[in-house]
Structure 1
Amino acid sequence: MSDTPLRHVDGPSKSSWLPAKSWHHFVAGGLGGMCGAIVTSPFDVVKTRLQSDLFKVKASTVSLAGHGAAEVVVPRPNLLWHFVETGHILRDIYRDESPRALFKGLGPTLVGVVPARSINFFTYGNGKQIIANRFNNGEENSWVHLTAAAFAGIATGTATNPIWVVKTRLQLDAHRPAAVPAGQSFFGGSITMFKKILREEGVRGFYKGLSASYLGVTEGTIQWVLYERLKVLTGGTKGKGGVQEWFGMLASAGTAKCVASLITYPHEVIRTRLRQPLVDGKMKYTGLVQTLRLVIAEEGARSLYGGLSAHLMRVIPNAAVMYSIYEAVLRMS
């Protein structure tokens, strides 16, 4: 990978390693992540279910009339069908489980997204400046961006993994949500799930899928590096304001996320499998390599891309919203 054009960055304050106004990255990232998560929550529910084998029978088989429990697998002919299937699942969740079910897991998602994005943008935004100033004569390039993004991904994954475990368990619960009693918090279901995991699996249960999260650091790294490069390529729109400048930024964010997701998507499926609840008191998926081998052996390599359509329909607009708000807050600060 060739380096991006060198760019000088402001140094840290004399009293700290952190650059001036470093907290702006924390606030901007949190606001961007929150707005993006709310807008795209229904697609997140569909994606999680398609990644899990707990819903595979329901989604991909039909009962044969007159043959008792016999079932036949319905083939999925092409990529377009997966987008149609996403729409069908959204419809079924809305009809069978209630409109609220489209936002299952939104509580822990918001609890997780705000600090996760805050930590990620804070670590990356300040990290690239610190690395550039300390080790590259104050100049940014692709290797500075790559290193900062890797550190940001590791820090974010370690700090927020328990939240994502709770969110995944809630989204895999296909029961109709119970009516919320007056005064009960929107996060009541998350607290109940938290207690259940702690009781049945102990503290270790909250760190299921962490190895896959570390593997997924590559996605965030690719996304940040590509985003920075695309911003340079669309630099001709900078300063012009209005639709043209923002379209260039939105396109950069969406394209970077799309490419990164396509390259690294299998880790998402593996992570979801590792975070699944116990089935009949047993843990089917126990480790990164074991899960990869088992999924391929039982379902084929194509299953490693289960839920990809719903994932792309969620993460591309999510990235566009998140990065636009992030950049806007930084410009206003």
Structure 2
Amino acid sequence: MSDALINGLAGAGGGIIAQLITYPLQTVNTRQQTDRGRGKTGFRDGTVAQMYQVVHQEGWQRLYGGLAPSMFGTAASQGVYYYFYQIFRSRAEKAALDKWKRGSGDGSVGMLQSLVAAALSGCMNVLLTNPIWVIVTRMQTTRAKRIQSDPSVPDVLNVKIQTAAIEKPSYGTSHTVHEIYDEAGVFGFWKGVFPALIMVSNPSIQFMLYETLLKKLKARRAAKGSNAVTALEFFLLGAIAKLGATVATYPLLVVKSRLQAKQVVSSDKNHHYRGTADAITKMIYHEGLSVFYKGMSTKIMQSVLAAAVLFMVKEELVKGARLLVTGDLGLTGGGSSRSKSQ
């Protein structure tokens, strides 16, 4: 089994577990980003209170709206990303080693090369999986309504009617796919792809920070005669790296969510976005600069937790796979193969 395949499968597994744990936060955050109006978020108080509001008004199932395509998208995205990242990084490591043999450089992959490898992997990921995330955004932002109690019927029957209404989602995956296609055809599935491509800088920054911190940690351990890194340390490194990347790129995520959400059908053209530039202009004019940071605290909580879990699980899965296949732990997926093999 190739190193790229091991990393791809481990990345997919880690992504699925992280998604299951943090999905309710992701749903609330997407709704915060797509709420319209200057200074209005559609929610009150903190993230937990907002989650309670969704459960109270629409049922707990709405916190998991779009979970099925999101799980598939997470597996696909993480698998594609880690697969291509390992390929591009391996090529960078080979080039660095060749330069070292010719007497140039120290044989290690620099920060710029790591950044380029992450960016190329991110572009491949965005282009291949954007349709999935358009579907997920639509399903997350669809609001279910409780049926009001009818005083003319017994309370028990009212409860059954309300429960049945909530348990049937307003939109399923198939319905959402047809809706997007009817609105904009095939190109509708690539809405928001431009800001998504720019957001490739998010995982680039994330992995640059992660590998820099990991390299420093391993160097410190090596000086003490050990190079072991614990699961908890992978967790913390992943959290720190994701925090930095999220703060830097959050405004682009808000724009992408606005473009992918269902456009409001009304006479108010301010709610219709023709593209990325049009969306940014209207958001600033009608809602102010603060709109680009709606729900940021929720996103930080969700993304940092998800990334930390993903890195921890991925590294442990990579170790387990290598031990199973070769009987040797070998390298971990996040670091330089040359620094670990020597």
Would you say same fold, with TM above 0.5?
A: yes
The correspondence of residues 6-25 of structure 1 with structure 2, limited to 5 A, is: 20-25=2-7
TM-score by length of 2: 0.78
Structure number with larger C-alpha Rg: 2
Picking from 31, 34, 50, the partner of 2:13 is: 31
The correspondence of residues 23-172 of structure 1 with structure 2, limited to 5 A, is: 23-54=5-36, 59-60=41-42, 84-134=45-95, 137=98, 139-172=108-141
- Offset at 1:156? 0.4
For the residues of structure 1 that align with 2:37 and 2:18, how far apart are their CA atoms? 26
Q: Which amino acid is 1:122 matched to? A: Y
For the residues of structure 2 that align with 1:220 and 1:50, how far apart are their CA atoms? 22
Q: Give the 3 Å change call, closer, same or farther, for CA 297–130 of structure 1 in structure 2.
A: same
Deviations 1:55-89 (A, max 9, x none): 8887459xxxxxxxxxxxxxxxxxxxx8x421221
List structure 1 runs of 4+ shifted beyond 3 angstroms.
Answer: 54-61, 176-181, 236-241
- Offset at 1:33? 0.6
Larger proportion of helix: 2
Number of aligned pairs? Answer: 287
Picking from 264, 280, 289, the partner of 1:292 is: 280
2:332 counterpart residue number: none
- Offset at 1:129? 1.0
- Offset at 1:246? 2.4
Q: Give the 3 Å change call, closer, same or farther, for CA 55–331 of structure 1 in structure 2.
A: farther
- Residues 129 and 140 of structure 1 are in contact (CA less than 8 Å); yes or no, is this contact kept in structure 2? no
- Residues 105 and 167 of structure 1 are in contact (CA less than 8 Å); yes or no, is this contact kept in structure 2? yes
Q: Give the 3 Å change call, closer, same or farther, for CA 237–104 of structure 1 in structure 2.
A: farther
SS in 1 for 2:230: helix
Q: Give the 3 Å change call, closer, same or farther, for CA 322–178 of structure 1 in structure 2.
A: farther
1:16 counterpart residue number: none
2:198 counterpart residue number: 215
Q: Give the 3 Å change call, closer, same or farther, for CA 149–115 of structure 1 in structure 2.
A: same
- Residues 145 and 225 of structure 1 are in contact (CA less than 8 Å); yes or no, is this contact kept in structure 2? yes
- Offset at 1:234? 2.2
Q: Which amino acid is 1:253 matched to? A: G
- Offset at 1:24? 0.2
Deviations 1:222-280 (A, max 9, x none): 00111000112222458576xx7222221110000000000111000000111121322
Picking from 261, 268, 273, the partner of 1:276 is: 261
Percent same amino acid among aligned pairs?
Answer: 26
- Offset at 1:179? 6.1
Q: Where does the alignment leave 5 or more consecutive residues of structure 1 unmatched?
A: 1-18, 62-81
2:177 counterpart residue number: 194
SS in 1 for 2:312: helix
- Offset at 1:178? 4.7
Give the RMSD, CA atoms, in angstroms: 2.5
